[in-house]
């Protein structure tokens, strides 16, 4: 399905957050809306956790309070992203249907009293949730405040896997659809090993706790199934909404930067536009790169169309061991970095800080301290800035290169009984992305089988598992003139996690012109020197070039002399995990070989530069300075934020943001 662009009713960029009026007496609502107007809020997400208020008893719905909230918002010209409220069933639901509660791998049923306390395969949950969706859509289908639907909330955040008997039955159905018969299943799972041969479907189970390592192919399929089980719920809600409100776009908030449990490439296809939540982790050494990473994944999932930052935080969150407040100015920079990368707005969790509950220490747009606070002042300033940036809405960002990201491959590589726990996928993709950020190159993400010919360079940081078709697509991409850099431990298994024999890197052996015969993972903290002076970690390989030119080889340890960095025409390979400096150098070398330059030349290290563009050529160069020193670069245009013109050169103050509009010809 083709995703329509994001066309909510407010004009310009969207600004607001989760609004939970059910947590407050009605007398507070008037003040909420007055302050929303003061801050420039034009969209709020209502009802995400309001199921208990909408359906206080089975089949008894009460909408009066929501009617009043929506009417108040309408009168104040604040549009609504109306939630379907299915993310947190009220206590009466599991009390009535105890088998709907999720079960963990040890067989422990998880109680209600938190949120997302349901099994994705529960027929009762599905029925009751869809009933609620139907009632909401029927009641508010023509409400003038309704701009978009917010399906559920952060699917899979807390109930990604359920191992109960109902899930087991649903898993079997999923497996039958995939493999047809038990012969297909036994073959795919390699059940000749350890006498795991299945002779009856009733014997097939989710990967529950076992004596020792379970079957990795079973674990992988269960992860695929779990993603699909939740996706089926999302699709069902989406279809129910489409029946009643075909013209209202619907989305759900993904978590593109730090959640890799769902196969978001499949998910993005059912959404009218992509929305994501992006929270920073206090221990990160480069939070601004984390922001960019999550944003670029979100944009790429939506195939480049405008998307929406549905939630981030004004300051601290509440769910880390140490919840760091954002220093002054960071709220604005984080928000505008998302906008730079294609978000048509910036929304927060949440509007007003809660007094009770698990998130009472989470920051908000309106903090406990009230309006006499730094956060509130920054919130008001951001609202004004976003108004000035209104012309940017619906423009798009062109990625200069692509990075391959595949969820099931990462799940398989991060499963048990791998050669080294240091060979995770998702952190490594993030690390390679960091090298591209530092190189000043705008990156898109792509699934492995995608059509990639428009990119001069494609990076494959970690693709342990690949199907023949997807491997062939990458080979055709190189045949067609593309440049490819592949990281270690890639192409080694097929889509059923079966090793590709004959030498590694399996599916990419011919393409890369190298043949690896043995892996030499390193002890914790170990390193290996390369002939070009760079340093590798975690992984080394014994092998030889079968056609590729050896650019660097290992100089010490048990694989001294084996190739570490190779180049077979336009297909490059690195067989170790280079440290950041080495990775930066290799990435720079590959970019240079393919003629890809930084978006803005001679850029100081902490300056983020991204360009959005309208089809008529009007361009917006976002310059976000994350450093403590002013940053001066060559650029021309009018700063949308200040109205100042710059011809030839612009200086961005420390921590500041400049958005230069140009006709596109000056670039
Ligand atoms: C997620 C959820 C919100 C809230 C925030 C807290 O994004 O969607 O409801 O819990 O996390 O950071």
The CATH number for 630's domain is: 2.60.40.1180
Residues 384 and 412 in one domain: no
In sequence order, what are the residues at sequence separation of 6 or more whose Cβ sits closer than 8 angstroms to the Cβ of residue 170? 121, 225, 229
Closest ligand 1 atom, residue 277 Cα: 7
Low-confidence ranges of the chain (pLDDT < 50): 1-8
Number of separate helices (H) and strands (E) present in the chain? 17, 29
CA of 144 to the centre of ligand 1 (A): 27
Q: Are 514 and 545 in contact (CB under 8 A)?
A: yes
Q: Domain of 378: which CATH number? A: 3.20.20.80
Q: Is the CB of 276 under 6 A from ligand 1?
A: no
Alpha-carbon dihedral 15, 293, 599, 394, rounded to 10 degrees: -30
Residues 484 and 342 in one domain: no
- Residue from 23, 50, 311, 359 whose mutation best tests the ligand 1 pocket (most atoms within 8 A of CB): 311
Q: Is the CB of 311 under 6 A from ligand 1?
A: yes
Angle at 46 between CA 43 and CA 52, to 5 degrees: 180
- Pick the last residue of a domain from 561, 593, 625: 593
Q: Is the CB of 359 under 6 A from ligand 1?
A: yes
pLDDT reported for residue 11: 81
Closest ligand 1 atom, residue 255 Cα: 7
Q: Is the CB of 153 under 6 A from ligand 1?
A: yes
CA of 349 to the centre of ligand 1 (A): 6
CA of 559 to the centre of ligand 1 (A): 47
Angle at 188 between CA 184 and CA 189, to 5 degrees: 120
Q: Is the CB of 362 under 6 A from ligand 1?
A: yes
Q: Is the CB of 296 under 6 A from ligand 1?
A: no
The Cα–Cα gap between 247 and 245 comes to 5
Residues 633 and 577 in one domain: no
Reduced to 3 states (helix: H, G, I; strand: E, B; else coil), residue 31 is helix
- Residue from 154, 252, 314 whose mutation best tests the ligand 1 pocket (most atoms within 8 A of CB): 154
Q: Give the number of domains in the chain.
A: 4
CA of 253 to the centre of ligand 1 (A): 10
Q: Does any domain span residue 231?
A: yes
CA of 275 to the centre of ligand 1 (A): 13
Backbone angles phi and psi of 424, in degrees to 5: -60, 160
Q: Are 429 and 461 in contact (CB under 8 A)?
A: yes
Q: Is the CB of 381 under 6 A from ligand 1?
A: no
pLDDT reported for residue 10: 75
Backbone angles phi and psi of 404, in degrees to 5: -80, 130
Residue 444 DSSP one-character state: E
CA of 41 to the centre of ligand 1 (A): 19
Q: Does any domain span residue 175?
A: yes
Q: Is the CB of 277 under 6 A from ligand 1?
A: yes
CA atoms in the 13 A half-sphere facing the CB of 518: 6
Residues 572 and 436 in one domain: yes
pTM of the model: 0.98
**What sign has the CA pseudo-torsion 509, 512, 516, 522?**
negative
Q: Is the CB of 154 under 6 A from ligand 1?
A: yes
Sheet holding 275-277, edge to edge: 250-251, 146-150, 79-83, 43-46, 14-19, 343-348, 307-311, 275-277, 253-254
pLDDT reported for residue 638: 97
Q: Does any domain span residue 216?
A: no
Closest ligand 1 atom, residue 319 Cα: 12
Q: Does any domain span residue 4?
A: no
Q: Does any domain span residue 598?
A: no
Query: Which of 44, 34, 37, 265 shows the shortest CA–CA distance to 146?
Result: 44
Residues 555 and 483 in one domain: yes
Residues 405 and 382 in one domain: no
Residues 297 and 318 in one domain: yes
Token reading at 165: 């008997």
With residues binned 3-state (H G I as helix, E B as strand, rest as coil), the percentages for the chain, rounded to 5, are: 35, 20, 45
Residues 555 and 654 in one domain: no
Residues 407 and 290 in one domain: no
Atom 12 (ligand 1) nearest CA:
317
Atom 11 (ligand 1) nearest CA:
349
CA dist list (Å): 326 to 279, 287, 471: 11, 11, 43
Query: First vs last Cα of the chain: how many Å apart?
Result: 35
Residues 52 and 103 in one domain: yes
The Cα–Cα gap between 249 and 268 comes to 13
CA dist list (Å): 309 to 262, 461, 579, 624: 18, 26, 32, 17
- Pick the last residue of a domain from 559, 593, 627: 593
- Pick the last residue of a domain from 394, 425, 450: 394
Counting other chains too, the contacts that 376-383 makes at CB distance below 8 Å and 24 or more residues apart are: 376/39, 378/314, 378/328, 378/329, 378/331, 378/332, 379/39, 379/314, 379/331, 380/38, 380/39, 380/40, 381/332, 382/15, 382/331, 382/332, 382/335, 382/346, 383/15, 383/39, 383/40, 383/41
Atom 7 (ligand 1) nearest CA:
277
Place of tokens 């108004």: 387
State the CB neighbour count (10 A cutoff) for residue 373.
14
Q: Does any domain span residue 8?
A: no
Atom 9 (ligand 1) nearest CA:
349
Query: Which of 461, 475, 468 shows the shortest CA–CA distance to 433?
Result: 461
Closest ligand 1 atom, residue 253 Cα: 8
- Residues with catalytic annotation? 154, 311
CA of 106 to the centre of ligand 1 (A): 27
Domain range holding 406? Answer: 401-593
Q: Does any domain span residue 532?
A: yes
**What sign has the CA pseudo-torsion 508, 512, 516, 522?**
negative
CA of 454 to the centre of ligand 1 (A): 36
Q: Are 598 and 588 in contact (CB under 8 A)?
A: no
Closest ligand 1 atom, residue 279 Cα: 12
Counting other chains too, the contacts that 262-265 makes at CB distance below 8 Å and 24 or more residues apart are: 262/155, 262/156, 262/160, 262/227, 262/230, 262/231, 262/407, 263/224, 263/227, 263/228, 263/231, 263/407, 263/408, 264/297, 264/301, 264/407, 265/301, 265/407, 265/447
CA of 262 to the centre of ligand 1 (A): 17
Calculate the average pLDDT of the chain: 97
- Residue from 46, 275, 277, 364 whose mutation best tests the ligand 1 pocket (most atoms within 8 A of CB): 277
Q: Does any domain span residue 667?
A: no
Q: Are 80 and 142 in contact (CB under 8 A)?
A: no
Residues 293 and 174 in one domain: no
Backbone angles phi and psi of 417, in degrees to 5: 60, 40
Residues 57 and 176 in one domain: no
pLDDT reported for residue 291: 98
Predicted confidence (pLDDT) per residue in 114-132, tens digit: 999 999 999 999 999 999 9
């Amino acid at each position: 399905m083709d995703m329509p662009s994001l066309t909510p009713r407010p004009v310009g960029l969207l600004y607001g957050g989760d609004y939970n009026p059910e947590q407050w007496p009605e007398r507070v609502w008037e003040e909420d809306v007055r302050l929303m107007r003061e801050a420039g809020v034009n969209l709020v997400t209502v009802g995400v956790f309001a199921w208990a208020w909408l359906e206080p008893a089975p089949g008894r719905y009460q909408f009066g309070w929501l009617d009043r909230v929506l009417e108040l918002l309408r009168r104040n010209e604040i549009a609504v992203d109306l939630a379907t409220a299915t993310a947190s069933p009220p206590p009466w639901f599991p009390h009535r249907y105890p088998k709907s509660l999720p079960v963990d791998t040890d067989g422990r049923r998880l109680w209600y009293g938190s949120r997302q306390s349901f099994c994705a395969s529960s027929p009762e949950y599905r029925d009751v949730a869809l009933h609620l969706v139907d009632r909401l859509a029927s009641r508010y289908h023509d409400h003038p405040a309704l701009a978009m639907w917010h399906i559920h909330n952060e699917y899979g955040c807390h109930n990604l896997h359920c191992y109960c008997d109902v899930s087991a039955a649903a898993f079997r159905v999923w497996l039958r659809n995939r493999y047809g018969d038990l012969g297909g299943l036994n073959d795919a799972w390699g059940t000749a090993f350890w006498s795991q041969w299945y002779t009856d479907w009733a014997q097939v189970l989710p990967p529950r706790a076992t004596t020792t390592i379970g079957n990795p192919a079973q674990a992988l399929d269960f992860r695929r199934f779990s993603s699909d089980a939740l996706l089926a719920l999302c699709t069902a809600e989406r279809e129910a909404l489409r029946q009643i409100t075909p013209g209202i776009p619907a989305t759900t908030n993904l978590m593109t930067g730090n959640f890799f449990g769902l196969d978001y490439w499949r998910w993005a296809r059912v959404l009218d536009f992509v929305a994501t939540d992006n929270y920073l982790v206090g221990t990160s050494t480069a939070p601004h790169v984390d922001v960019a990473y999550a944003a670029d994944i979100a944009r790429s999932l939506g195939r480049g169309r405008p998307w929406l930052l549905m939630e981030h935080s004004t300051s601290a969150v509440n769910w880390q061991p140490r919840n760091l407040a954002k220093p002054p100015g960071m709220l604005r920079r984080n928000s505008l970095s998302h906008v730079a990368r294609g978000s048509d707005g910036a929304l927060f969790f949440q509007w007003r800080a809660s007094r009770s509950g698990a998130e009472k220490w989470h920051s908000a747009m309106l903090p406990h301290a009230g309006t006499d606070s730094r956060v509130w002042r920054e919130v008001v300033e951001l609202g004004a800035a976003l108004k000035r940036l209104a012309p940017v809405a619906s423009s798009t960002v062109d990625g200069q290169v692509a990075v391959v990201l595949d969820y099931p491959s990462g799940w398989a590589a991060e499963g048990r009984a791998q050669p080294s726990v240091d060979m995770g996928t998702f952190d490594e993709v993030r690390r390679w992305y960091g090298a591209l950020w530092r190189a000043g190159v705008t990156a898109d993400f792509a699934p492995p089988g995608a059509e990639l010919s428009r990119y001069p360079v494609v990076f494959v940081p970690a693709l342990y598992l690949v199907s023949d078709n997807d491997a062939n697509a990458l080979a055709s991409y190189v045949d067609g003139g593309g440049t490819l850099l592949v990281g270690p431990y890639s192409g080694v298994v097929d889509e059923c996690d079966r090793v590709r024999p004959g030498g590694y890197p399996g599916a990419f052996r011919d393409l890369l012109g190298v043949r690896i015969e043995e892996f030499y993972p390193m002890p914790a903290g170990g390193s290996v020197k390369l002939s070009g002076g760079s340093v590798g970690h975690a992984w080394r390989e014994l092998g030889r070039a079968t056609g590729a030119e050896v650019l660097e080889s290992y100089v010490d340890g048990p694989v001294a002399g084996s190739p570490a960095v190779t180049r077979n025409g336009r297909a490059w390979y690195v067989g170790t995990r280079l440290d950041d400096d080495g990775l930066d150098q290799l990435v720079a070398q590959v970019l240079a070989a393919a003629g890809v330059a930084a978006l803005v030349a001679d850029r100081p290290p902490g300056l983020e530069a991204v360009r959005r563009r309208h089809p008529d050529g009007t361009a917006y160069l976002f310059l976000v300075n994350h450093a403590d020193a002013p940053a001066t670069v060559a650029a021309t245009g009018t700063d949308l934020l200040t109205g100042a013109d710059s011809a030839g050169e612009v200086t961005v103050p420390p921590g500041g943001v400049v958005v230069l509009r140009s006709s596109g010809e000056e670039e």
